[in-house]
């Protein structure tokens, strides 16, 4: 059973006695900076020259500084820039301004786990990773609740890293819901595996294979879209509320019987073998190297794969069908705020 921590286990005055720099003001950055401030913590936001995020942070009354200056002023630096930008940002703007006794914080262990960032002697390395998107993290905090977080200490140079990490988690509201103790290795490897094998990679490939199977058999793409993509949300919502059991309770007996007999035919032992190979590439660092090497080269593989994905026939079908559904948010809205584009 995981070790859980709540508000009573943390001392807010620890983080209130620090000077915090939140680097990046995107999904997580805005939530952390605003909630830290509202918890009585001295916080500034570090952004690169000419950052489009600066105006948003300033409109909230936050102090915005160049990254190097923010790190210089602060003794706790939370790095909330995109993972692929962190190594360069760290080497050029952060590392030169760290001193013994500082703490480096992350919301995902990627750069530490795979060795792209190595903190100097005397600097604590901690993680507070809320298990939800930044906008939810902020909304829950404002409403007096919180999004659970997983918390880890990679390097405890001062002897006080764990209470400091708990104090930070409390300040962003996460310990109202609960904090789970983990390690950088466990967080990074399970996060990458989940998104690759199940949530993003697995689900996208399953939907596309289903859509292709129906359309290649001569069924109309519009009907295939509803059956293989659109209705997935209803199913996932039921799982989210009550596990796989609630989903099976809610669907028809026909669907439930088909679930039992055909699910394991589609996702068979071979799929699990493939999942194990994906996990092995994550654990060995092969996936991280492929991603970072490609990013360093201007992301040719990433851009090609993205273009191929966007050209799949299911996307054109979906664009037309969603126009008929007034309650579905327009598909033009989704690119707003995605830094990778």
Nearer to ligand NDP among residue 107 and residue 197 (C-beta)? 107
Task: State both tokens at 270.
Answer: 């071979």
Contact code string over 201-220 relative to ligand NDP, x by CB under 6 A: --------------------
Write out the H or E segment, with its range, that includes residue 58: helix 54-59
Binding footprint of ligand NDP, residue count (CB under 6 A): 24
246 φ, ψ to 5°?
A: -70, -35
* 65 forms part of the interface with ligand NDP (CB under 6 A): no
* 295 forms part of the interface with ligand NDP (CB under 6 A): no
* 27 forms part of the interface with ligand NDP (CB under 6 A): yes
Write out the H or E segment, with its range, that includes residue 128: strand 124-130
Nearer to Mg ion among residue 180 and residue 321 (C-beta)? 180
Smallest separation (angstroms) from ligand NDP to the CB of 279: 19
Choice among 19, 32, 108, 230 that is catalytic? 108
> DSSP letter string over 212-228?
HHHHHTT--HHHHHIII
CA angle 310, 314, 319 (to 5 degrees): 80
Q: Which of 6, 19, 26, 181 binds ligand NDP (CB under 6 A)?
A: 26
Residue entry with tokens 């997983």: 150
* 89 forms part of the interface with ligand NDP (CB under 6 A): yes
Contacts with Mg ion by CB under 5 A lie at 72, 74, 191, 195
Residue 250 marked as a ligand binder? no
Q: Could you say which DSSP state residue 149 is in? A: E
Is residue 256 within 8 A of residue 250, CB to CB? The reply is no
Torsion, Cα of 6, 7, 11, 15 (10° steps): 100
Is residue 191 within 8 A of residue 204, CB to CB? The reply is no
Nearer to Mg ion among residue 15 and residue 224 (C-beta)? 15
109 binds, among Mg ion, ligand NDP, none (CB under 5 to 8 A by kind): none
Smallest separation (angstroms) from Mg ion to the CB of 77: 8
**Which of 12, 1, 2 is closest to 175 using CA atoms?**
12
* 239 forms part of the interface with ligand NDP (CB under 6 A): no
* 53 forms part of the interface with ligand NDP (CB under 6 A): yes
The verdict on whether 30 is a catalytic residue reads no
* 37 forms part of the interface with ligand NDP (CB under 6 A): no
* 108 forms part of the interface with ligand NDP (CB under 6 A): yes
Smallest separation (angstroms) from ligand NDP to the CB of 25: 4
Q: Which of 47, 94, 126, 229 binds ligand NDP (CB under 6 A)?
A: 47
Contact code string over 123-142 relative to ligand NDP, x by CB under 6 A: ------xx--xx--------
Residue 84 marked as a ligand binder? no
Quick count: other Cβ atoms within 10 Å of Cβ 108? Answer: 20
44 binds, among Mg ion, ligand NDP, none (CB under 5 to 8 A by kind): none
Nearer to Mg ion among residue 58 and residue 195 (C-beta)? 195
Residue 231 marked as a ligand binder? yes
CA distance 151 to 83: 18
Residue 195 marked as a ligand binder? yes
Residue entry with tokens 């508000």: 7
CA distance 178 to 147: 8
Nearer to Mg ion among residue 121 and residue 216 (C-beta)? 121
**Which of 88, 174, 158, 89 is closest to 126 using CA atoms?**
158
CA distance 129 to 69: 25
Inter-CA distances, 26 with 56, 99, 156, 186, 307, Å: 10, 26, 28, 25, 25
Q: Which of 82, 163, 201, 210 binds ligand NDP (CB under 6 A)?
A: 82
Annotated binding-site ranges for NADP(+): 25-28, 48, 51, 53, 134
Residues belonging to the active site: 108
Annotated binding-site ranges for Mg(2+): 191, 195, 227, 231
């Amino acid at each position: 059973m995981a070790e859980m921590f709540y508000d009573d286990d943390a001392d807010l005055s620890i983080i209130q006695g620090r000077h915090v720099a939140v680097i990046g003001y995107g999904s997580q950055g805005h939530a952390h900076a605003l909630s830290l401030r509202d918890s009585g913590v001295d916080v500034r936001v570090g952004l690169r020259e000419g950052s489009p995020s600066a105006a948003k942070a300033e409109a909230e009354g936050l102090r915005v500084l160049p990254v190097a200056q923010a790190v210089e002023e602060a003794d706790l630096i939370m790095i909330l820039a995109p993972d692929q930008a962190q190594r360069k940002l760290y080497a050029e703007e952060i590392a030169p301004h760290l001193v013994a006794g500082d703490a480096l914080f992350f919301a995902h262990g990627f750069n530490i786990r795979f060795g792209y960032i190595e903190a100097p002697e005397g600097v604590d390395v901690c993680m507070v990773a809320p298990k939800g998107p930044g906008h939810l993290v902020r909304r829950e905090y404002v409403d007096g609740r919180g999004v659970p977080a997983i918390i880890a200490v990679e390097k405890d140079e001062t002897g006080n890293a764990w209470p400091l990490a708990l104090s930070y988690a409390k300040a962003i509201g996460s310990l109202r819901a609960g904090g789970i103790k983990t390690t950088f290795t466990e967080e990074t490897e399970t996060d990458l595996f989940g998104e690759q094998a199940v949530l993003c990679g697995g689900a996208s490939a399953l939907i596309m294979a289903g859509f292709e199977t129906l359309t290649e058999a001569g069924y109309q793409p519009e009907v295939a879209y509803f059956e293989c993509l659109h209705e997935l949300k209803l199913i996932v919502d039921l799982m989210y509320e009550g596990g796989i059991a609630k989903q099976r309770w809610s669907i028809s007996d026909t669907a439930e019987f088909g679930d039992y007999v055909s699910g394991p035919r589609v996702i068979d032992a071979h799929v699990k073998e493939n999942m194990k190979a994906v996990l092995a590439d994550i654990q060995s660092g092969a996936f991280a190297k492929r991603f970072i090497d490609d990013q360093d080269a201007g992301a040719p593989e990433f851009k090609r794969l993205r273009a191929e994905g966007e050209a799949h026939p299911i996307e054109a079908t979906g664009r037309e069908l969603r126009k008929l559904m007034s309650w579905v948010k327009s598909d033009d809205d989704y690119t707003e705020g995605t830094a990778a584009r």
